[in-house]
Amino acid sequence: NAGVTQTPKFQVLKTGQSMTLQCAQDMNHNSMYWYRQDPGMGLRLIYYSASEGTTDKGEVPNGYNVSRLNKREFSLRLESAAPSQTSVYFCASSLTGYEQYFGPGTRLTVT
Amino acid sequence: KQEVTQIPAALSVPEGENLVLNCSFTDSAIYNLQWFRQDPGKGLTSLLLIQSSQREQTSGRLNASLDKSSGRSTLYIAASQPGDSATYLCAVRPYNDYKLSFGAGTTVTVRA
């Protein structure tokens, strides 16, 4: 039982490049989330998916897109990376209304 | 907009002392409140979740209380150990929404 897994763990991009962050959970949770964590800003929600087939914007969605591929997987795409997207990205999952469980994070640097 | 505040931002105590961590929130219409632990360079680990109808939750040396009407939660860690050194975050979830609002965290150092 791996919980929430994220790939890659680290990534360096040049401005304008694109990439997809992958997230998977094996806890049969229906809701999944993407957050970013920045010093002094705390954790902020980018997008979430309440259930398979649905996605909604969070607090800071600009510059990102998401795909809920199936119940297990929720990916985050940066179409044209910008230095302001340098951050640590966390994926989380939960049964609706219950505890959220977090992955280990992806540390992204955009130069 | 929900604002979540954790004071102090950092705390250093000698081993064995009890820890008291505070979390306050501006909108008392919450569905639940969750406490997390984050070690440097790692993800968040859920410690306790308190539903809005509950006053407290306990797990081992950890006890979290919730006073919804005053917009406060307190996390108590009894007999602290160096392994308790970490950043502790609280997050609240409103009714009819999935979004958690996080505090900035309290970084705890337990000195041996």
pLDDT at A39: 84
CB contact under 8 A, B42 and A31: no
**Interface contact flag, B105 A42, Cβ < 8 Å:** yes
Q: What is the 3-state secondary structure (H, E, C) of chain B?
A: CCCEECCCCEEEEECCCCEEEEEEECCCCEEEEEEEEECCCCCEEEEEEEECCCCEEEECCEEEEEECCCCEEEEEECCCCHHHCEEEEEEEEECCCCCCEECCCEEEEEEC
**Mean of the pLDDT values across residues B16-22?**
97
Q: What integer best gives the mean pLDDT of chain B?
A: 94
Residue B44 contacts A, CB cutoff 8 Å: yes
Dump pLDDT digits (tens) for A41-77. Answer: 789 999 999 998 899 999 999 999 999 989 999 999 9
Task: Judge: B98–A42 Cβ closer than 8 Å, yes or no.
Answer: no
When pLDDT is averaged across residues A33-45 and rounded to a whole number, the result is: 90
For the ranges A3-12, A81-90, A92-101, B70-79, which has the lowest average pLDDT? A92-101
pLDDT at B49 over 90: yes
Interface contact flag, A99 B91, Cβ < 8 Å: no
Between β-strands A101-102 and A42-49, what pairing exists: parallel, antiparallel or unpaired?
unpaired
Strands B106-111, B10-14: pairing kind: parallel
Residue A59 CA: distances (Å) to CA of A62, B2, B37, B89, B112: 9, 12, 22, 18, 40
Burial of A47 (0-12, 13-18, 19+ CB in 10 A): buried
Cβ of residue B23 closer than 8 Å to a chain A Cβ = no
Q: What is the DSSP letter of A96?
A: T
Q: What is the pLDDT of residue A36?
A: 97
Distance CA B65, CA B34 (A): 11
pLDDT for residue B96 is more than 80: no
Check pLDDT > 90 for residue B110. Answer: yes
Asked whether the predicted pLDDT for residue A97 surpasses 90, the reply is: no
pLDDT at B93 over 80: yes
Q: What is the mean pLDDT of residues B37-53?
A: 93
Cβ atoms within 10 Å, residue A22: 16
pLDDT band per the 50, 70, 90 thresholds, residue B95: confident
Report which of residues A39 and A7 the model is more confident about. A7
Say what the pLDDT of residue B4 is: 95
Provide, rounded to the nearest whole percent, the portion of chain B with pLDDT above 90: 87
Confidence of residue B30 (pLDDT cuts 50, 70, 90): very high
Q: Between the CA of residue A88 and those of A36, A71, A91, A104, B46, what are the distances in Å?
A: 6, 24, 10, 10, 18
